[in-house]
Structure 1
Amino acid sequence: MERYKLIKEVGDGTFGSVWRAINKLSGEVVAIKKMKKKYYSWEECVNLREVKSLRRMNHPNIVKLKEVIRENDILYFVFEYLECSLYQLMKDREKLFSEVEIRNWCFQVFQGLAYMHQRGYFHRDLKPENLLVTKDIIKIADFGLAREISSQPPYTEYVSTRWYRAPEVLLQSFLYTSKVDMWAMGAIMAELFTLRPLFPGTSEADEIYKICSVVGTPSKDSWLDGLNLARAINYQFPQFTGVHLSVLIPSASDDAINLVTSLCSWDPCKRPTAAEALQHPFFQSCFYVPPSLRPRSAISRTPPSVGVRGTLEQQSARRYPGVLPNAKLTGNLNSAKINASFGTGVQRKLEMVNRVIAI
C-alpha cells in the first residue's frame, strides 16, 4: 500500500469502506476498497466471491479490478476510478434525464450484464449506487454479492437493496436466477425516467404491497410459482388490478414502457435476458455492435453495413435467445463511448477509445 496515497473516503458499507486514492508513481487516481474483516491468508482472499468474479470480468461496462493487496491482515481491492454513481446523479437533480441519456446508460449496463451472465455470474445487488458513471460511460460495480449461476442453492435470502429486489427473493425463494438482475434493471430504468423509485417499500411486506399496487396481483396464469411461494410462507397477496406504467412514467416512450413492463414481470421466466433486452426496439435506433464483437453466426449472415439493426428489423416479430460474443477485450479497450447521433437510418456507434476510465 506504500505505492498509494489515500485522499478521501467516498463510501462505507457493511463489508468495507471505499477511498479515492492516487498512485504515487503514475499519478493515476484509483478507488481502493478496504475490507473490514481481517484476512490471515491468501487462500481466504482468493476464495472471496468478489475476487473470483471480478478476476473473470474484462468488459468496458464492468468495473476493472486492478490489483488485490493484503497487508497486515487487511485486504485492499484497487479499482479503476469513476467520478460518481447513478444514485449521486439522480439524488439532487431537478430536471428529468432525456430518453437519449437513459437509453445510453441502459444500453451499456445491459451489455455488461449480458457479458457477466454469459460468463456464469449474476450480480444480485444492482442498484443506482452500484452503477458508476463518468462522462458517457457507465460501469457495474460492487460484486460482493455476486453468485455463480452454476453454484448450488440454497442461496441467501437477503440480497439487493429492497427497492430493487425481485419478488421471488422477497418471497424467500432459494432457487432464483440471473433474472433477479433483470427485475432490478426494470426498477432502475423506471427511476431514471421519474427520479423516484418505482417500488419504495419500507419493509419486505410493504415492498410486495408496492409491487402489487403497480403491476397488479399475480394470478395462476401470470405466476403460479409465486402463489406457491406465498402459500409456503403463509403470505396472502393484496388485491390490486395494477396501473399502466405510462401513467406513472409519462415522459417515457411506448418502447421504453414496454421494456420496463417486461423486465418487471412477476414470473422470472417471462423477463427477457440481458442479451434479449439489447434486441428490444427501445435500442433499435441507437444500437450498433462492431463486427469484432458480434456472434460468429451473426457475422456470417449479416453484412457489416446492415449490422444488428438490420437483423432486428428482419426478426422484430419474435424474441430470440441472445448470444454474447466470447471475444476477449484487450488492455486498450478500457472504455466505450456512445456516439449520440440519432435519427432515421442513423446508427449510433460504439467507439472504443484509448483513454483510461477507472471505476
Structure 2
Amino acid sequence: MQRKSFSLKCRHFRNNGCQNNGKHPVLFEIFGEMWNVQVRLGQGVSASVYRVSSGRASMAAVKEFQVDAQGGDYGYLKERSVLENIQGHKNIVTLYGVFTNHNPLGIATHCLLLELLDVSVSELLVRASNQGHSMWLIQHCARDVLEALCFLHREGYVHADLKPRNILWSPDDECFKLIDFGLSFKEGHQDVKYIQTDGYRAPEAEVQNSLAQAGLEGDSGCTSAVDLWSLGIILLEMFSGIKLKETVKSQEWKDNPAAIVDHIFSSNSVVYPAIPVYHLRDLIKSMLHSNPSSRSTAEAALISPFFSIPFAPHIEDLVLLPTPVLRLLNVIDDSHLYNDDEYEDIIEDMREECQKYGSVISLLIPKENPGKGQVFVEYANAGDSKEAQRQLTGRTFDGKFVVATFYPLSAYKRGYLYQTVQ
C-alpha cells in the first residue's frame, strides 16, 4: 500500500522579534550556567526583555534593567519586591530568580529571570483586523485578568499599569497572565506619582498626574479601582477591534462614557448573540464609572452573568493561542478511517512526520464525531507544538493543504473534542 506523505510548499516566515544585532548581550551567566540570548522581546526606558535558552533547552525571559545614571536601582528593587510578594498565582508571571549580569565592559546590571510567555493581548488586537475578538476569547481573557486582580487587590496591591501589552498568554498553562509591576504599589502607600498608560488611565489618575505635573499634591492616592477602569477599556477594545485612545480623550467620552459604550455595542452586536452581548456590555459599563467608588470590584465582576455562558472558540482563536496540542485539519478523508490497514499507516506516517519537530506524547485521529478525521498531536511542550505548526502549515498531505491550529490541552486530556466555530 502506498503510504501518504507530506510535501513542502515554499513559504516565508517572519521572526516575531528583533534579531541579535550585536547591541545587546549574547549570553547571560545565570546561577553558574550560560544562557543564550535568542531575541530581544521588548525594550523600554528602564529595561529590556530577552528570550533566553540554556544548554538543557530550557526557555525563559530575562528582564535586564538599565544602569541608572544617578546610581539608584529603584526600578529593579521595586519590581523585584512586588513580584516576590505576589508569587504563586496562576495568572501572574512567575519570577524564577534574580541575578547580576557583568558585561564585557565591566558594567553590572540587575536582572530578573522570569517565566517565558507568548502572545500579548496587544498583538491579538493587531491581528483582529478591526473585527473584534470572539466571545470565547474575551471571556477567557476577562476571567483570567479578574482572577489576577482579585488576588493582587486582596494582597493590598494596585497593578497601576494594566494595558494590552502587559497581558500575555501562557501556552503551557493555557491562561492569560499579568506582567510588568514596575508602577505597582500598596494601596494607601502610593509611591509612584505618574501611573497607568495613556488611553487606559482612570479619571482619578489623570487628575493626580496633572496635579503632580503642576507640582501640587492631591488629596489621596489612587485605589485598586484604577485597574478595573483599565480592564474595562481593554475589553471594549477586544470587543470592537478598535484602539480607543483617541475616543477616551474626547469630550463626549468625558461627558458620558456609558453612551459611547452603548453605541459601540449597538454597532457591533449584529455579529454576536444578543444575551451575551448585553451581559458583556453591562460588565464593561460597571468598570467604567467615572466615580471610582461606584466602579465594580474584581470580585464583584467575576460573578457577572457573562461568565456563566459557555462559548466555543473560533478557529482563529486556536491559531492565535499556542498550546502543547496541535490539531491538523483538511488531512483525512472518511474513507481512510474505515480501512484498518490504511488507518494504521496514516497514524504511523503522522507520528513519523510530527516527531521531526519535537517529542510527541500522544497522537489521536477520531473515527467518529466530534473531531472525526482531525489529527490531534500532543507535544511535550508548546515550543515544539509551535514549531510543528510553523512547519506544517501550507504543506500537503495526500494532495490536500494542511491547516494547523492549536487545541486546548485541558480539553484534549479529558477527551472533549468540541466543534469550533468557523
TM-score after normalising by structure 1: 0.65
Residues 183 and 195 in structure 2, CA contact (< 8 A), matched pair in contact too: yes
Matched, 1:176 2:212: no
Kept in 2, the 8 Å contact 1:259–1:280? The answer is: yes
What residue identity is the alignment partner of 2:119? C
Does the CA contact (< 8 Å) of 1:38 and 1:74 recur in 2? no
**How far does residue 194 in structure 1 lie from its aligned partner after superposition?**
1.1
CA contact (8 A) 1:124 1:160 kept: yes
Is 2:293 the partner of 1:247?
no
1:149 is the counterpart of 2:149: no
Q: Which runs of 5+ in 1 are unaligned?
A: 217-240, 288-335, 341-359
Does residue 209 of the first structure (1) align with residue 228 of the second (2)?
Answer: no
Q: What is the DSSP-based 3-state SS (H/G/I as helix, E as strand, rest coil) of the residue aligned with 1:55?
A: helix
Instruction: Mark the CA change 1:338 to 1:193 in structure 2 (over 3 Å): closer, same or farther.
Output: farther
- The one-letter code matched in structure 1 to 2:185 is R
Q: Which amino acid aligns with 1:128?
A: P
- Residues 58-89 of structure 1, C-alpha deviation per residue, up to 9 Å, x if partnerless? 11110011111113330111111112211012
User: Residue 109 of structure 1 aligns with which residue?
Assistant: 145
SS at match of 1:78: strand
Q: Aligned to 2:234, what secondary structure does the other structure show?
A: helix
Give distance in 2, aligned partners of 1:190 and 1:85.
16
| Structure 1 stretches of 4+ moved >4 Å | 38-41, 43-47, 336-340
Are 1:56 and 2:85 counterparts? yes
**Counterpart check, 1:276 vs 2:322:** no
Q: C-alpha separation between the residues in 1 aligned to 2:206 and 2:310?
A: 35
Q: How does 1:327-346 map to 2 (within 5 A)?
A: none
Q: Is the 8 A contact 1:68 1:75 kept in 2?
A: yes
Please state how far the C-alpha of 1:124 moved relative to its aligned partner: 0.4
Alignment of 1:1-359 (within 5 A): 1-2=28-29, 3=33, 4-24=35-55, 26-38=56-68, 44=73, 48-57=77-86, 58-72=88-102, 73-94=108-129, 95-135=131-171, 136-151=174-189, 153=190, 155-172=191-208, 173=218, 174-200=220-246, 207=249, 209=251, 211-212=253-254, 215=257, 244-245=262-263, 246-247=265-266, 249-250=268-269, 251=272, 253-285=277-309
Is contact 1:55–1:65 with CA below 8 Å preserved after alignment?
yes
Code of the residue aligned with 1:91 in structure 2: it is V
| 3-state SS of paired residue (1:71) | strand
Q: Does the CA-based 8 Å contact 1:123-1:147 persist in structure 2?
A: yes
User: 2: distance between equivalents of 1:175 and 1:114?
Assistant: 20
SS in 1 for 2:92: coil
Letter in 1 for 2:60: V
CA RMSD between the two structures: 2.9
| 1:38/1:156 CA distance change after superposition, 3 Å | closer
Contact 1:32–1:76 (8 Å) recurs in 2: yes
What is the CA–CA distance in structure 1 between the aligned matches of 2:252 and 2:44, rounded to whole Å? 26
Rounded to whole Å, the distance in 2 between the matches of 1:242 and 1:46 is 37
**Unaligned stretches of 5+ in structure 2?**
1-27, 103-107, 209-217, 312-407, 413-422
Q: Of the two, which has the highest radius of gyration?
A: 2
Q: State the SS of the aligned residue for 1:68.
A: strand
Hey, what's the Cα distance between the residues in 1 that align with 2:44 and 2:282? Answer: 35
